[in-house]
Amino acid sequence: MKFLSIFSLLFIPLFSVFSEMHHHYIKHTDTPNDSFLWTKQNIVPFEELLITWNASRPTQGHYSIYVSLNTQKWSPWLVYAKWGSDFQKGAISKLENVPVRVYQDAVETLEGEVGHGFKIKVIAENGADISNLKSIHVCSSKPSSIAISSSNMDTHDSYHLAVDGLSQMALMDERGNRLCSPTSTTAVVRFLKNEHILNPLQFAENVWDASFDIFGNWVFNVAEAYNQINSPLISCWVERLNGFQNILDSLKEGFPVVISVRGPLPGSAQPYKNGHLLAVIGFENKTREVICMDPAFDTDDETTVRYNLDDLMTAWNRRKNVAYIFRSSTYL
């Protein structure tokens, strides 16, 4: 990718919007017969949905989450995920002659189609309690259009949240190199709960996607984060952000942001060729540096690092601006 300076980035249009969020807080009357259905139509055309739920994990049974998209017509229901008392499974859902598929944590349109609406259905099965489902958060976006942008950024202030370092490499587990997402998310949950009880290895077990043998399923990490935080005062979801300003807004309100990057990233612990997740915990305005808790470093003490804003945005854009967002529920 051609190097872009911060100066050159300023010439990108100020109000580019590549994604939008849709939030639904669930009332008791929304869940008859142990199920929930949400339909949203006539939204900005999109190529992808990311679906997040905030719920206490079922003590028995599981939730089955289904999705249907309206392209030129409504697609059949496709399995999105199953999330249970002791397991979670992503899906590969594709039907013949249907221009929609589910793969891992994303719902994608195919064959040049775009979506104009969606339906989400959650069914509580095998004894799961639907009343523990608190909200659904959907990010609709056009990843093909997402571009680097530092335009319209309010960078007059600096922030540094006191998120303690946590190294995935120091966990003394042979899977450590695969645990960037659960380790970063554990560090954020510990910060938000102001306690250090949560074990990152146990958190990793609770997000392991049995369908794909991965620990980095975005929506499972955020679902487990909410399950651990378990507070009506905080909501969390996966979002493709429209720019770094969204991260600054979260930092200003006291919330770290976990982001996905792909290298090269100058100063990083590893090449990050296949992607990596880290927590953004601050920003230094004078030096234009982003303060991160990057779990790929060897020790907890080494994980608080500073990356050049331009470099980090380029690496983040390679992953199309994916972020785990934590905000006060009053924000919505």
- Asked if 19-144 and 159-331 have one fold, the answer is no
CB 237 within 8 A of CB 137: yes
Binning pLDDT at 50, 70 and 90, where does residue 288 land?
very high
Top-level CATH class of 19-144? mainly beta
Q: Which fold has domain 159-331?
A: Cathepsin B; Chain A (3.90.70)
- Strands 88-94 vs 257-261: parallel, antiparallel or unpaired: unpaired
- Strands 234-240 vs 159-160: parallel, antiparallel or unpaired: unpaired
Tens digits of residue pLDDT in 46-66: 999 999 999 999 999 999 999
Domain edges within the chain: 19-144, 159-331
Q: Give pTM, 2 decimals.
A: 0.93
Mean pLDDT of the chain: 93
How far CA 137 is from CA of 10, 147, 168, in Å, comes to 31, 23, 28
Tens digits of residue pLDDT in 163-205: 999 999 999 899 999 999 999 999 999 999 999 999 999 999 9
Tens digits of residue pLDDT in 74-125: 999 999 999 999 999 999 999 999 999 999 999 999 999 999 999 999 999 9
What phi, psi does 312 have (nearest 5°)?
Answer: -65, -40
Question: Which two tokens mark 68?
Answer: 């249907």
Sequence-distant (6+) residues with CB within 8 A of 228 are: 189, 193, 198, 203
